[in-house]
C-alpha cells in the first residue's frame, strides 16, 4: 500500500495505525518557536469507533494508506448474527454487527439502499439513507381540541423504533424520518 507523508495529512483520509484502519477526523499543523514542526491528529478507528490522538513530526514520518472501498448495497434482513447486506456490484452478501451501525439501524427497511464501507473485502461500516418513509403502527389518539403545532407524542413505526411525532399523526399514516437523528420530518401523503 502507498505511504502518506505528514505533509499530505488531511481530514477524511484513511490510514493504517497499529494494524487497524483509521480515518483522520482532525489535523492541526503546529510550528513551535524552536524545533521541528508537528502534526497533531485525531483518528477514529473504523472498526471500533474509538478516538486516538497522535502527534507526528513533519517531514520524516508517514503512515500506510488504508485500502478502503465504498459501494452501494441493499439491506436484506436482521438476525441474531447481525445485519445482512448485499453488495450491488458483486451481489455478494455481507453481515455486520448491529452495534457498529449505531442507532441508524433502527430505521432500516428491507430493500433499503445503503452506503457500504469495506476494508480488505470485509464490511466495516454502513451509511443508511438520509431519510426513510415508514408507517406508524402505534400511537395514542390525539386529544380532542389539542391543535397546538408544538405538541408531540411518541409513535412506534414499522421497524419497531419510537419517534416523537406531532399530535395530529394517527396509526396507519406514513411519515418521513431523519435516520441520523431519529426525528420526524413530515407526513407523507400518497
pLDDT tops 70 at residue 147:
no
Distances (CA, A) of 126 to 45, 109, 118, 163: 14, 14, 9, 22
Beta carbons within 8 Å of 69's beta carbon, 6+ residues apart: 117, 118, 119
Beta carbons within 8 Å of 168's beta carbon, 6+ residues apart: 142, 147, 187
- Per-domain residue ranges of the chain: 3-65, 68-127, 131-188
Tens digits of residue pLDDT in 77-121: 989 888 999 999 999 999 998 877 778 888 889 999 999 999 888
Residue 102's φ and ψ, nearest 5 degrees, are 75, -155
CATH number of 131-188: 2.40.50.140
Q: Which CATH number fits domain 68-127: 2.40.50.140, 3.30.1330.60, 1.10.10.10, 1.10.1040.10?
A: 2.40.50.140
Q: What pLDDT is attached to residue 169?
A: 87
Cβ-contact 107, 134 below 8 angstroms: yes
Cβ-contact 23, 10 below 8 angstroms: no
Cell of 84: 445482512
pLDDT tops 90 at residue 53:
yes
pTM metric for this prediction: 0.74
> Are domains 3-65 and 131-188 of this chain identical in fold?
no
Please identify, in words, the CATH class of the domain defined by 3-65: mainly beta
Q: Predicted confidence band at 144 (pLDDT cuts at 50, 70, 90)?
A: low
Cβ-contact 99, 121 below 8 angstroms: no
Tell me which DSSP letter residue 101 carries. H
Amino acid at each position: 500500500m502507498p505511504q502518506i507523508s505528514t505533509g499530505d495529512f488531511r481530514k477524511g483520509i484513511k490510514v493504517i495505525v497499529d494494524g487497524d484502519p483509521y480515518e483522520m477526523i482532525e489535523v492541526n499543523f503546529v510550528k513551535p518557536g524552536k524545533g521541528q514542526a508537528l502534526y497533531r491528529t485525531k483518528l477514529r478507528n473504523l472498526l471500533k469507533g474509538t478516538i486516538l490522538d497522535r502527534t507526528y513530526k513533519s517531514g520524516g514520518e508517514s503512515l500506510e494508506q488504508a485500502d478502503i472501498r465504498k459501494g452501494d448495497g441493499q439491506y436484506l434482513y436482521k438476525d441474531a448474527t447481525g445485519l445482512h447486506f448485499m453488495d450491488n456490484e458483486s451481489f455478494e452478501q455481507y453481515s455486520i454487527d448491529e452495534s457498529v451501525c449505531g442507532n441508524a439501524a433502527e430505521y432500516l427497511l428491507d430493500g433499503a439502499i445503503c452506503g457500504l464501507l469495506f476494508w480488505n473485502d470485509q464490511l466495516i461500516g454502513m451509511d443508511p439513507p438520509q431519510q426513510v418513509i415508514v408507517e406508524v403502527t402505534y400511537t395514542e389518539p390525539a386529544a380532542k381540541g389539542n391543535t397546538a403545532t408544538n405538541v408531540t407524542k411518541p409513535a412506534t413505526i414499522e421497524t419497531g423504533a419510537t419517534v416523537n411525532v406531532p399530535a395530529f399523526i394517527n396509526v396507519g399514516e406514513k411519515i418521513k424520518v431523519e435516520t441520523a437523528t431519529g426525528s420526524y420530518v413530515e407526513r407523507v401523503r400518497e
